[in-house]
Structures are given as structure tokens and as C-alpha cells.
Amino acid sequence: MKAIRGRLLDFADGERYRYVEDGVILVADGRIQAIGEWSVLSRDLPPGTPIDDHAGRLILPGFIDLHIHLPQTRVIASYGTQLMEWLERYTFVAEQAYADPAHAAAGAAFFLDELRRNGTTTAVVYGSVHPGSAEALFAEAARRGMAMIAGKSMMDRNAPAALRDTAQGSYDEAKDLITRWHGRERQHYAVTPRFAVTSTPAQLQAAGALLREHPTVYLQTHLAENHDEIAAVAKLFPAALDYTDVYYQAGLLGPRSLFGHCLHLSMRELDRLAETRSVAVSCPTSNLFLGSGLFDRAGMLGRDKPVRVGLATDVGGGTSYSLLRTGAEAYKVAQLRGHTLSAVAAFAQITRGNAEAIGFEHEIGTLEPGSYADLVVIDATATPAMAHRMETVESLEEELFVLLTLGDDRNIAATYVVGER
């Protein structure tokens, strides 16, 4: 048993949250056993119980990132292009190095270090086309006890020869990874066709076959990020009604399917995402950096047929591993669209909301007993400017907005994975 003391905060639907000013989380065997007031639960702690005292600091469920690229850690902050040229000039070059198992292992270790440093305890991750990239990530995440959803990218055209597989080869490699890793030691597989531009119809059909044969795996890909990309898809798939229809015809839409970006969709496409309960994942720092567009979160949620949404960093097109920084950009995007995004809603999204998007809400994203003790401890006074600003803050909602607007990795005082700091 371990006791972790602090200001406890987690979220329900909408703007509702649970807050305990001086609380404690009791942890055993990696899971939350109980939470409550320190003054009450501390009376019955067994003698010698270790106590991690974070009094005065917020303790939240660990952050969840729904779209991020393992092989792009050295692509972040690459200057001056939009999506299609950016992929060719920077990304495809960097991803070729992941053919080397040693490079993949070192990259996975750095990647997971950076996630934890930013308070992220679970992520949905793209590997390179090489199965060893996903293998390295799963192995390192399992060693650390972190929950990951990941897959090797599938690309059989419109990419450098060193990054191309085949429809059958990608199916076989994914099936092998599913057999060895899906559901093992908190690791889960995501079938990962990079996007329709780099997959033939045969490869997309192979991806659909994997989903039918393994109904508990996930699907991740990109959708409607950039106008040139959309035009390329229309030429490659002339029989499809639209970009979303390309994936629909291959059997790739569904409640375990996550589509990154979703910036330029028709009403028909939004209806299709809604009726299949697919998830549209916003990547605001990437969309702004690459000049791709503004995600319509309010429009998707406010429809008669709402679309499920998520939030993600999209490193390395995204410019920060921090979901605090990402939330700040989501707020600005909402402002540009004529809406507001409250700090409560933003924090709810990167914890419980993202957990719900992947069906993990009973395991992560909340402080409910039985959940894994994946936690982040946040200090709202971590920088002089924030400490100065906090002197005038009068409510929890104000404090969260300060964290959302000014926060980053410096505010992460501690990260816990299965109860271990």
C-alpha cells in the first residue's frame, strides 16, 4: 500500500468535476484502491505506509495522447513547408533510420522519457513501416508499465523504396505483432495505414481484414488534413464518394477507429463518422505549424449527430509533447472559430475524454477505485510568471486556465505509472 497526498481532481461529463482540496489516493498493486479526504483516510493507514506528500499541488489522472509519431522525434521543428512536402523532405528521411533495431530501441526510450516528463502516461502511437519500431516501443513501454496503443505503418506506394512494404507483407507483419503484443502487459495494437495516399486499395482491404479478424484491435490513420492531400486521394480513388468513403469502403470506420486531423470534411463525411462512432482527433499545434486548417470541435460536438472527438500532440508535425501546450492551442483555434474552450473541458478531454475515445475509461483517465494509478502531479507556480499570476487567482477554474494558457513540462512535478513515481 502507498498513499499519495495532494489536491485531487478528475472529471465527469461536460463541465462537471470532482475536487478534494486535501485528499489522498491509496494505491496497491498498481491500482487505485480508494480516494478521499486526507483527514478521514489517513486515520486507518497501516503503520509504516509510504506517503508521497504533494500537499498544495494538483493530482490528476495521467494525460492521454491520441495521435503521435514515434519516428518523428527528430523531425519536430523542421522549417518551412506544408504537409506533403514536409513528409518528403523531413519525415520520410527520418523514418528510414528505424530499420535499425538499435536506433528504434534508443528512439523508443527517448520517446517514452519525453512523454512521462510531460505527464503523459498513455499514447496512441504511429511506428515507422518497420515492424521493429512497434516492437521496440511495446517492449520498452511494457518494461515501464505504461499503456500504449501502437502499430507499424503500412505504406505500399508513394513513399521512398526503403519505406514501402506490400499489402500482404504489411498484413503478415501486423498479424505477428498482434499475436505477440495485443493485450499483453498493457500493450494494444493499432492497425496503421499511414493515409490513403500511401496505401493501395489492396493494402486498405488488408487493413480491414485485420480489423475483422481481430475485433479488439484499433485503427489509426490520417484524414482530410491538407487540401493537396485530399486532391491526391481523389485522383487515386476516383470511384470513392469522398476521402472518408475510401476508408469506409475498406471497412476501416468504427468505434475503435481514430482519424487524425479531420479538418476539411463535408456534411456527408461527418455523418459517416458519427454513425460509425469513429473518433476525429484534433492536432492543433501540428495543424497551425503546417498551415493545414482549424479543427471544428464545437461544430462536431454540436451536431444533431455528434462526432466523437479527441485531442493529441501529433509530434513531430506538432510542436510540443505537452498536452498543456496542445490544449492552449486548441483554445486559440476555438477562438478563431468563434467559440470558447473552457479549461475544465480541455483537462477533461486530455484525461477522461481521451480515455473514453479508446474505451479505456474504466482503467485510466479518472481517479476511480480500480483504475490504474497513472497520475500526474501539477504545480501551477512552477515559473516566476505563473507564481506571480497565481497570486491573484481566486478559483480552481482560474488556476486551470492559467495552467492551460501558460503551462508546459515545467509544471509537471511528478508522473506516476501504476503507482510508481
d(CA 62, CA 41): 23
3-state DSSP call for residue 311?
strand
Confirm or reject CATH 3.60.20.10 for domain 63-321, answering yes or no.
no
DSSP characters over 179-218: HHHTTBTTEEEEEEE--GGG--HHHHHHHHHHHHHSTTSE
The cell for 416 is 506516476
Cβ 420 vs Cβ 145: under 8 Å? yes
CATH topology of domain 2-61+365-416: Urease, subunit C; domain 1 (2.30.40)
CA 6-11-13 angle, to 5 degrees, is 170
d(CA 122, CA 94): 24
Kindly report, residue by residue over 22-45, the tens digit of the pLDDT.
Answer: 999 999 999 999 999 999 999 999
Cβ 407 vs Cβ 381: under 8 Å? no
Helix H or strand E segment including 406: helix 396-406
Cell 492551460 appears where? 404
**Residue whose C-alpha is closest to residue 26's, from 37, 34, 36:** 34
Q: 4 Cβ partners below 8 Å, 6+ apart?
A: 24, 25, 27, 51, 52, 54, 59, 373, 375, 416, 419
Cβ 134 vs Cβ 71: under 8 Å? no
**Residue whose C-alpha is closest to residue 300's, from 343, 323, 332, 266:** 266
Q: Residue 382 CB: number of other CB atoms within 10 A?
A: 20
In SS3 terms, 215-240 reads as CCCEEEEEECCCHHHHHHHHHHCCCC
d(CA 396, CA 402): 10
**Tens of each residue's pLDDT in the chain, 421 residues:** 999 999 999 999 878 999 999 999 999 999 999 999 999 999 999 999 999 999 999 999 999 999 999 999 999 999 988 988 989 999 999 999 999 999 999 999 999 999 999 999 999 999 999 999 999 999 999 999 999 999 999 999 999 999 999 999 999 999 999 999 999 999 999 999 999 999 999 999 999 999 999 999 999 999 999 999 999 999 999 999 999 999 999 999 999 999 999 999 999 999 999 999 999 999 999 999 999 999 999 999 999 999 999 999 999 999 999 999 999 999 999 999 999 999 999 999 999 999 999 999 999 999 999 999 999 999 999 999 999 999 999 999 999 999 999 999 999 999 999 999 9
**Residue whose C-alpha is closest to residue 371's, from 362, 360, 381:** 362
Adjacent-strand bridge partners of 218: 190
For the chain, the structural domain boundaries read 2-61+365-416, 63-321
| pTM of the model as a whole | 0.97
d(CA 273, CA 175): 26
Kindly report, residue by residue over 345-391, the tens digit of the pLDDT.
Answer: 999 999 999 999 999 999 999 999 999 999 999 999 999 999 999 99
